[in-house]
Chains A and B, each alone.
Chain A
Amino acid sequence: MTKIISLFILEAVFCFTFFTVSYSDINLIQTTCKKTPFYDLCVLTLKSDPRSSTADVSGLARIVADSVKAKAIATLNQISALLKSVKDPTLEKALEGCIVSYNTIIQADIPVAIDAIEKNNPKFAVQSAADAGNEAQACENSFAEKPSNSPIFSGNKAVHDLSVVLQSIASLLL
């Protein structure tokens, strides 16, 4: 009998934990990401961060902001590396412009977005996220000879798309 009872209790605990933890956090990530234009990117980014299992929407926004910053830093490093060996003056000019864009994202846009989320004044996070996306686009656009195919296209696209996700999530906090 005790085996039945212990089985029952274990099952009940399992169900309860399963539903409350797994169901609710997956559900929040899904419902939040559905409100962004990049569902898969959003879900992937959030799920790969352990904080997402206990985060509210504000916390999810913070996770995305951190991810934008990480991708931006990686892209900035890529740009710096390319600059070291660049010969073509047009390419060099584009890369230098991108340094400015990425410095803005890393030093202005993302810190302001995080600050605004933390201080519960989300409209400034929305604006900064929009700007981050625009900066990434401006960088990509500056490779006039290779539109949408620059040497850092994937970095630019990642930063742009994640910024848009951030903007969407921050809008939910308004």
Chain B
Amino acid sequence: MADINPLLPVSSSDGSSNLTGQATCRRPIKVVVSIFFGLLTLGLFAALLIRNNGPVDYVDVHENERGSLASTAFEKAENLKPVSRGPAAGVSEKSNWAFGGDLPDYPWNNSMLSWQRTAFHFQPEKNWMNDPNGPLFYKGWYHFFYQYNPNAPVWGDIVWGHAVSKDLIHWLHLPLAMVADQWYDKNGVWTGSATILHDGKIIMLYTGSTTEGVQVQNLAYPADQYDPLLVHWVKYPRNPVLVPPPGIGPNDFRDPTTAWLTSEGKWRITIGSKINKTGIALVYDTKDFINYEMLDGLLHAVPGTGMWECVDFFPVSETENNGLETSINGHGIKHVVKASLDDDRHDYYAIGTYNDRNGTWIPDRPNIDVGIGLRYDYGIYYAAKTFYDQNKKRRVLWGWIGESDSEAADVKKGWASVQSIPRTILFDKKTGTHLLQWPVEEIDSLRLKGKEFNQVRIQAGSVVPLDIDSATQLDIIAEFKIDSDALDKATGSSDASFDCVTSGGAAERGALGPFGLLVLADERLSEQTPVYFYMTKGSDGNLKTFFCNDQSRSSKASDVDKHIYGSLVPVLRGENLSIRILVDHSIIESFGQGGRTVITSRVYPTKAIHGAAKVFLFNNATELNVTASLKTWQMNSAFIQPYPNL
């Protein structure tokens, strides 16, 4: 840019014929103007220099408390203990390590890595998987679709994988259902849901990321409705059917739900989004899944929760023990809104009341609203989705379980991610505040040899080995009785701040806990994963029970997640403490109090594998003796394989 030196005297003869008579008056004005511009220019330069070099302090700025992972590592430079903000963010709960820590990387060998593959959890034969998509039951088969990378064990090139099963357990792989072959899903055939219409036909709505990277909703349907395997799918020729509406960002519009009928006979869906940092659910009505009208209002919104992914919306009965078809409404029915929060990679739900006329929903308890209250699962669990199983009249929940090891290990072993065992969902009538999740009953068909242990007394501070043969494929149902005397005698503490996540894990002894089971533990307990209860007594005498899962000593390897997961679990008067655990190689799913609080974790032992894995009962409390009764079963493989002779 030409820099005229404004301090040079300006010539009085500027050649303008109009001004010859005014030369003497203009000279001082010219000088003043020149000086002014000169100073302005200098001032601008000075401002530029100061702004550039000015000292700026790194401020630990977080968008919200669940946000940036980066700062946590640097607050704990020498400390590899669990971070105080809760499980590290990250799709697969990968924690961020402090640079300069002193534990070596782990040389994984093929025996350790191949052991990690599960026997009865759904996973493709290789490569990467994430969100469950479009689950449904049709013509005798359960269908499961999923986000899949056919080319690598890391996220990318996402298409829809597909598998079928007669019983939600024994799965048969089918060819890919949909690939990224249109401009409107070229950058990703992302998550979607199925709706079964009045005449039994199926439609699928899914999010496509266009060639421009815009998130749109697309319609697809089976190529042949008479094919019970629904192998081939057709995309509606005039997709997309929905594009981001005004005021919604092109990257904040995804994961359409299953539709439900309104009282006017229209279909209604909801799609998660955000406005600034408020997570929202948009609502659309349609008659044909091609033309939509967006409702003026939102289904619901919660400030500070960020983007709502994989929104789910469904009714639950307050009185019956069966699931409800998605369109059901009326007396004795509550509705659940669920969202997967992009910011912290956890799934949250809330129970409330739906207003059909204006398409809105309000939570029963705003203090535990969506995104700030209850979670489906306090471990590694995301992008969950339910469907109504009209075959057995139940609502079934799928959830994606990522890896919490290093990507180097994923690349070496050639796969990443599993799905949880499908769970039934019911309203918990006893508490009125929680949902109950429980593995579908068909899992019981995998039980082989069983063993029962009755009234095993576990003294304070002891570990009791359980004599079962193999311990890498197990179903365990355990009940714990505690002396009510000990509970009464225990002194209440005014320190009411226990939290599984920030605690010292199972090694931290309290008066009334921890006690429970050690799974995937070797004989010397050099590796162990405790699944346990921890009770606290407040100064007011009130007891609280926590259900936790401690990975801190789960493996000698340093490149795996070592956090402690868990949460409060409601325990009602007269209830014994109960746990169910499914152990399946590198995944543990644990259910507290019949599924009121659930924790899924991925565990990667180096020693407690194959025949060396064992199970123990333990009681690390100081003032409590515990009596446990339990049943354990060896679990058969589900022999998940490609559909034969397709």
Which A residues form the contact surface with B (CB < 8 A)? 1-4, 7-8, 10-11, 14-15, 17-18, 22-23, 26, 30, 34-39, 97, 100-101, 103-104, 107-109, 111-112, 115-116, 118-121, 123-124, 126-128, 130-131, 133-142, 144, 147-148, 156-157, 160-161, 164-165, 167-168, 171-172, 174
What B residues does A127 contact at CB under 8 A? 90-92, 94, 155
Choice from B73, B95, B105 contacting A138 with Cβ under 8 Å: B105
Inter-chain contact A137/B69, CB cutoff 8 Å: no
- Say yes or no: A11-B37 contact (C-beta < 8 A), given A108-B152, A124-B155, A138-B406: yes
B102 near A147 (CB under 8 angstroms)? Answer: yes
Contact between A123 and B63, CB atoms less than 8 A apart = no
Q: Let me know if B154 and A139 touch, CB within 8 A.
A: no
Q: Is the Cβ of A148 less than 8 Å from the Cβ of B100?
A: yes
Least CB separation from B74: chain A residue: A37
With both beta carbons as reference points, the residue of chain A lying nearest to B250 in the complex is identified as A120
Interface contact B89-A133, CB-CB below 8 Å: no
Indicate whether B527 reaches chain A with its CB closer than 8 angstroms: no
Q: Which residues of B contact A103 (CB under 8 A)?
A: 408
| A138–B14 CB distance below 8 A | no
Interface of chain A, main secondary structure: helix
| 24 pairs of residues in contact across A and B, judged by CB atoms under 8 Å | A1-B16, A3-B10, A15-B44, A35-B68, A36-B70, A101-B408, A104-B407, A108-B407, A108-B410, A112-B156, A119-B188, A124-B155, A126-B89, A128-B407, A130-B94, A131-B406, A134-B94, A137-B99, A164-B96, A165-B70, A167-B68, A168-B68, A172-B68, A174-B342
Nearest Cβ on chain B to A161's Cβ, whole angstroms: 7
| Shortest CB distance A131–B (Å) | 4
B166 at interface (Cβ–Cβ under 8 A)?
A: no
Which 5 pairs between the two chains have the least Cβ-Cβ distance? Answer: A138-B105, A120-B251, A104-B408, A127-B91, A168-B70
Q: Is there an interface contact between B101 and A137, defined as CB atoms closer than 8 Å?
A: yes
Report the Cα distance A147→B100, complex, angstroms: 7
How distant is the Cα of A7 from the Cα of B11 in the complex, in angstroms?
A: 13
Whose C-beta in chain B lies nearest to the C-beta of A19?
Answer: B44
Contact of A10 among B4, B11, B16, B33 (CB under 8 A): B4
Q: Are A138 and B70 in contact (CB under 8 A)?
A: no
Could you tell me if A121 and B61 are in contact, using CB atoms closer than 8 angstroms? no
By a CB distance below 8 angstroms, the chain B residues around A97 are: 105, 107
Chain A residues, Cβ within 8 Å of B11: 3
B311 CB to closest chain A CB, in angstroms?
A: 16
Pair A133/B19 contact, Cβ less than 8 Å: no
Question: Chain A residues near B190 (CB, 8 Å)?
Answer: 121
A123 x B345 contact (CB < 8 A): yes
User: Which of B52-60, B170-178, B265-273, B421-429 lies at the interface with chain A?
Assistant: B52-60
> Known pairs A11-B41, A108-B152, A133-B96. 10 more at Cβ < 8 A?
A4-B30, A7-B4, A34-B61, A103-B408, A107-B411, A123-B91, A128-B407, A134-B97, A135-B407, A147-B102
Classify the interface of chain B: helix, strand, loop or mixed. Answer: loop
Q: How far is the CB of A49 from chain B (nearest CB, A)?
A: 16
B52 and A26 contact, CB distance less than 8 A: yes
Known: A1-B26, A123-B91, A168-B70. A26 touches B558 (CB 8 A): no
CA distance A69 to B197 in the complex (A): 50
CA distance A112 to B149 in the complex (A): 11
Query: Of residues 36 to 81 in B, which have CB atoms within 8 Å of A's CB atoms?
Result: 37, 40-41, 44, 48, 51-52, 56, 58-59, 61, 63, 67-71, 73-74
Q: How far is the CA of A131 from the CA of B30 in the complex (A)?
A: 63
Report B254 CB to chain A, min CB distance, Å.
9
Q: How far is the CB of A2 from chain B (nearest CB, A)?
A: 6
Q: Does B572 contact A (CB under 8 A)?
A: no
Q: How far is the CA of A124 from the CA of B105 in the complex (A)?
A: 23
Asked whether A18 lies within 8 Å of B44 as measured between CB atoms, the reply is yes
Say yes or no: A134 contacts B107, CB within 8 Å: no
Least CB distance from B563 to A in Å reads 14
Query: Contact at A167–B251, with CB atoms within 8 Å?
Result: no
Give Cα A88 to B97, complex, Å: 28
A120 vs B71: C-alpha distance in the bound complex, in angstroms? 23
Task: Kindly list chain B residues whose C-beta atoms are within 8 Å of the C-beta of A171.
Answer: 63, 67-70, 89
Please indicate the chain B residues that have their CB under 8 angstroms from the CB of A34 in the complex: 56, 58-59, 61
Min C-beta distance of A23 to chain B, whole Å: 8
Using known A-B contacts A7-B33, A171-B68, determine if residue A109 contacts B407 with beta carbons closer than 8 Å: yes
Is B105's CB under 8 angstroms from A111's CB? Answer: no
- Residues of chain A with a CB closer than 8 A to B70's CB: 36-37, 164-165, 167-168, 171
Q: Is B646 an interface residue (CB 8 A)?
A: no
B98 to chain A: closest residue by CB: A137
The residue of chain A having its C-beta at the shortest distance from the C-beta of B93 within the complex is A127
